[in-house]
Amino acid sequence: MNKCVVLYESWHYECCGEDFKVGSKIEWLVMKGENINLPIKTDNIDYYYEAHRADYKNIFLLKGTIKEIKTLYLKYEPSKYNPKLLVPTNGFLSNVNTNRNVANKLDNMEFSSYLAYIENYSIRDALESEGTFR
């Protein structure tokens, strides 16, 4: 059984996302999960959800079933290089069954993203007609 992990940032869901839960069949536009820097250790992130990028040639269509969902909460502090810039310095993961009704803050940390664990997935290059590429 093939499996992958998708980082799904909260702003994507708030903007134009659809509800999902454990057991949901999904068809998501994603990019390869390269250079994702988080202040905590997580499972390897294979892809991240991306429905707003103009360059569809670097986007893939991922189909599969959600096996597990974790929420990622992060603590932000001023950067030592630029105090006007907030950077994530700590965080934690929490298991959930759905992306609905997630707390915006928990233990003085901000909700940032979902980690969706996908099984039985297939992936292919996205077509220009499949996305919101503008």
- Residues paired with residue 93 on neighbouring β-strands, in sequence order: 72
Percent of the chain with pLDDT over 90: 69
Residue 55: which pLDDT band, with cuts at 50, 70 and 90?
A: confident
Domain boundaries, the chain: 3-128
**Single-letter amino acid, residue 103:** A
Only one residue has tokens 């803050």, namely 105
Helix (H, G, I), strand (E, B) or coil at 96: strand
d(CA 94, CA 38): 15
- Reported as a single tens digit per residue, the pLDDT across 92-131 is 999 999 988 888 898 999 999 999 999 999 999 998 887 7
Task: Give burial (CB, 10 Å; 0-12/13-18/19+) of 114.
Answer: buried
pLDDT the model gives residue 87: 94
Predicted TM-score (pTM) of this structure? 0.91
Rounded distance, CA 78 to CA 95, Å?
28
102 vs 107: CA distance, rounded Å: 13
For tokens 């096996």, what's the residue?
67
Q: Are 119 and 67 in contact (CB under 8 A)?
A: yes
CB atoms within 10 A of CB 95: 10
